[in-house]
Structure 1
Amino acid sequence: MKSLFIALAMYSKLPAPSVEWDKKSLSWALCWFPVIGVVIGALLYGWFLLCAALGIGPFLRGAVSLLIPIAVSGAIHLDGFCDTSDALGSHQDRARKLEILKDSHTGAFAIICCTVYLLLFFAAWCEVLPTDRAALVLALGPVLSRGLSGLAAVTQPNARGSGLLATFTQPMDASRARIILGLWLGVCAVLMVALDPWTGTASLIGAALSFLYYIRMSRRQFGGITGDLAGFFLQICECAIVLAVILGQKAVVLL
């Protein structure tokens, strides 16, 4: 349970008891990362039901749907998205990009990319129809994205060999962590497709494409992953899932 409390304290604003961050507890903390996605998914699904019951329109529904994951995570992943945007926009060498990731100042590329991202994600939430089983597929999106983020952390090289991400991955039994995170992903994927074959499959394709981009980009641009890059991936993955569900819903209508 200490590992769960550490994961909640690090990756969310959810209340959790204060515990000692010992090596054994840290070695399992990342395996609990998808639990935060479960909480976010439950809040999203509850919000979808409330919107349906009260007849709330797409704009307010979309705005709150966008804000729920950011509020629960304390914007830690959005911060990583902004830092990564600054580093990628600099077009500097690898060493300089890694320095930019650690810089606490916010550059122009971070502001521009964050604004564009939030506009796109808001529009996607307004366009998607979170009804029936598609609502449950969307609610599982935050679980899927966190499972993939955790899997990347235990399978990909660390660009620095140090830092916050290394604090969680270095003491970890990587082989067992891969199995546990793989189980999270397997269960999530099966549920998504079983709930709604069209939108479930579409969401998995969207998540997979964003994951492949993340792995290729991080290795090519940074030589591996970091905590900021993990946050960047989480944001684009969750947006990709919603966009993919929209395409799945449109495909059903056309066919």
Structure 2
Amino acid sequence: MRLIRSFLIAFSTYSRIPVPQVEWTEENRRYAMCFFPLIGAVLGLILWGWLALCDALRIGAFLRGAVAALLPLLVTGGIHMDGYMDVTDALASWQPKEKRLEILKDSHAGAFAVMGCAGYLLLSAALFSEARAADGLKLLCVFVLSRTLSALALTIFRNARPQGMLDDFSRTAQRRMILVSGMIYGIVCVAIWGLTGGWLALICPAAAALCLLYYRHMAYKQFGGVTGDLAGWFLQVTELALAAVVVMGGKLL
């Protein structure tokens, strides 16, 4: 029952997928991050279905890409995009570290956040407009691996705010379980990429590793560690980078 409650907390926290509500206790959320990548799997299945529908009905590239770019926001409620926008604002402020952390907590969206979001969605829509149903399983792994790495970073990287939500999860999570589940998710994704696209089994993990290394460098240098908003920023950046590898790489190789 404890695992089921952790599963429900993960989905109720990081998605808008209807699930039964359970009490938010340390015991119940202990393994929540182990189930975080499964939200990516659900999102990937929905996107796969949309691409298959577009192929079957010969829906044009513009509508194909626009809906595909919005699906992650609909499934997650925009929680990760919110973090991406906050971090974009903070980085563009060129303020001291303490001020940048304050900007992350500000509920108002600045001009750089709006421009960053618009640019992200435009690029995402453009990439998905080139995707087909045959890319569905490969793209599903993109959403799974981005969340897997986000959960792993929680257990490894220093937290910028000792009292933040991210630190709360890291204190209650079973790190060994997150590491083990993360390895399993990662192996499955690499195996699927290997079976469906050969070269993807090498390039996608390499691209994801570069995103992770840059994430650590940027977070430590600019903010003193990671936060929930930075985790959202990393997830969005990794998803876009891996989607570009899957969609555009397939045209080049």
Bin for the TM-score computed over the shorter chain = over 0.9
| C-alpha contact (below 8 Å) 1:202/1:247 kept by paired residues | no
| C-alpha contact (below 8 Å) 1:203/1:242 kept by paired residues | no
2:212 alignment partner AA = F
Tell me, in whole angstroms, the C-alpha distance in 2 between the residues paired with 1:15 and 1:108.
Answer: 33
| C-alpha contact (below 8 Å) 1:8/1:16 kept by paired residues | yes
2:24 paired residue number: 21
1:96 paired residue number: 99
Tell me, in whole angstroms, the C-alpha distance in 2 between the residues paired with 1:166 and 1:10.
Answer: 15
Does residue 1:49 correspond to 2:52, yes or no? yes
1:164 paired residue number: 165
Does residue 1:129 correspond to 2:131, yes or no? yes
Tell me, in whole angstroms, the C-alpha distance in 2 between the residues paired with 1:3 and 1:18.
Answer: 11
2:7 paired residue number: 4
2:197 paired residue number: 196
Deviation at 1:154, TM superposition (A): 1.0
Tell me, in whole angstroms, the C-alpha distance in 2 between the residues paired with 1:26 and 1:81.
Answer: 24
1:130 alignment partner AA = R
Q: Could you state the TM-score of these two structures normalised by the residue count of structure 1? A: 0.93
Q: Could you state the TM-score of these two structures normalised by the residue count of structure 2? A: 0.94
| C-alpha contact (below 8 Å) 2:165/2:228 kept by paired residues | yes
Inter-CA distance 158–93: structure 2 relative to 1 (3 Å threshold)? same
**How is 1:1-255 mapped onto 2 (pairs within 5 angstroms)?**
1-126=4-129, 128-132=130-134, 134-252=135-253
Deviation at 1:24, TM superposition (A): 1.5
| C-alpha contact (below 8 Å) 2:31/2:178 kept by paired residues | yes
Deviation at 1:131, TM superposition (A): 4.1
| Number of equivalent positions | 250
| C-alpha contact (below 8 Å) 2:45/2:136 kept by paired residues | no
| C-alpha contact (below 8 Å) 1:38/1:140 kept by paired residues | yes
Deviation at 1:27, TM superposition (A): 1.4
2:196 alignment partner AA = L
Give the secondary structure class of the aligned counterpart of 2:27: helix
1:95 alignment partner AA = E
Tell me, in whole angstroms, the C-alpha distance in 1 between the residues paired with 2:203 and 2:16.
Answer: 30
Q: Which runs of 5+ in 2 are unaligned?
A: none
